[in-house]
Structure 1
Amino acid sequence: MVKLNGTSRLPDINSKILLTQTDTTVGFLSQNAPKLCDIKSRDNAKPFIKVYKNFQALKRDYKRVPNTQKNRIRRLKKTTFIVKNFSFRVAEDSLHSSVLRKFSWNYSTSANKSTKNFSRVFCEEKADIIIEDKNGLFEGKSSKLYKINNKKIKRLR
């Protein structure tokens, strides 16, 4: 089910805030980072995780990944990586909605106010588009987080 807050038929969807179930937990997705910062009431300097629909989209975005870590990135699911202060996740199987398939990437953040738990009322007020399937929206376990380079891998979460 896709629910819109407005009367238009998805004009300029790139600037919209989407509320959906991601591969890990319920989250806000958008290509508009400043708007996400406003919703979350968080510092503009704090970066968001960039979620790619596949590994090819990551490569098209000119993001270099250490050769020694490429197989790990392709293989691990529900995992976020940090390479040179750039955080990303490849989530091929989570983009079920036809609305989301058109994007090769989105900024992603948990659907809550900073340091708070998931509140459906808060999320529905802030989201422009709500995408929900038969399982509904639920707060799941957050992704694993690894900082990687050519030689080392360090688990942060």
Structure 2
Amino acid sequence: MDNINSTTRFSDITQKIILTQTDTTVGFLSQNGTKLAQIKSRPPTKPFIKVYKNFKSLAYDKVRIPNKQKNRVRRAKQSSFIIKTRSFRVAHPILQSTLLQNLSWSYSTSANESGKKFLRNFCEEKADIIIEDKIGLFENKASKLYKINNKKIVRLR
């Protein structure tokens, strides 16, 4: 189900806040990091994880993965990575929404206020677009987070 709270249908999808079930937990997706930071009540300097729909989009954005870690990143499921100052994840959308398939990347964050639990009413008020299937929206554990470089890998979450 695609629920739109806008009078102009899909006018500029890159500026909208999307509430959906991600591959790990319920989350906000958007290409507008400033708007996401305002909704989450968090400092704008704290970066978001950038989620790519495939490895081609990741390569197009010029993210260079160290050679020793390429297989690990390619085979990882529900995992996010930090290389230098860039955090990213490659996740195929679990919902068959044409809206999400058209976005090659988006910033991702859990759908809650910073440091609080998931509240459906709060999320529905803040989202411009709600994408939900018959299973619904549910909170689950976040993705694993690894900091990698050419020599080592450290699990942060």
For the aligned pair, the TM-score class normalised by the smaller chain equals over 0.9
1:85 is displaced (CA, Å) by: 1.5
* Counterpart residue number, 2:10: 10
- Which segments of 5 or more consecutive residues in structure 1 lack a partner in the other structure? none
2:25 is the alignment partner of 1:25: yes
* Counterpart residue number, 2:134: 134
Cα deviation code 1:12-65 (max 9, x no counterpart)? 111000000000000000000000011001001000000000111100001111
* Counterpart residue number, 1:77: 77
Question: 1:106 is aligned with what amino acid?
Answer: S
Q: Residues 133, 95 of structure 1: CA spacing in aligned structure 2 closer, same or farther, 3 A cutoff?
A: closer
Question: 1:119 is aligned with what amino acid?
Answer: L
Q: Residues 93, 14 of structure 1: CA spacing in aligned structure 2 closer, same or farther, 3 A cutoff?
A: closer
C-alpha distance in 1 between matches for 2:144 and 2:54: 18
Question: 1:103 is aligned with what amino acid?
Answer: L
1:114 is displaced (CA, Å) by: 0.4
Size of the aligned set, in residue pairs, is: 157
Of all paired residues, the percent bearing the same amino acid is 67
Are the equivalent residues in 2 in contact too, given 1:95–1:101 (CA < 8 A)?
A: no
2:80 is the alignment partner of 1:91: no
C-alpha distance in 1 between matches for 2:25 and 2:141: 6
1:119 is displaced (CA, Å) by: 0.3
Are the equivalent residues in 1 in contact too, given 2:93–2:100 (CA < 8 A)?
A: no
Are the equivalent residues in 2 in contact too, given 1:53–1:95 (CA < 8 A)?
A: no
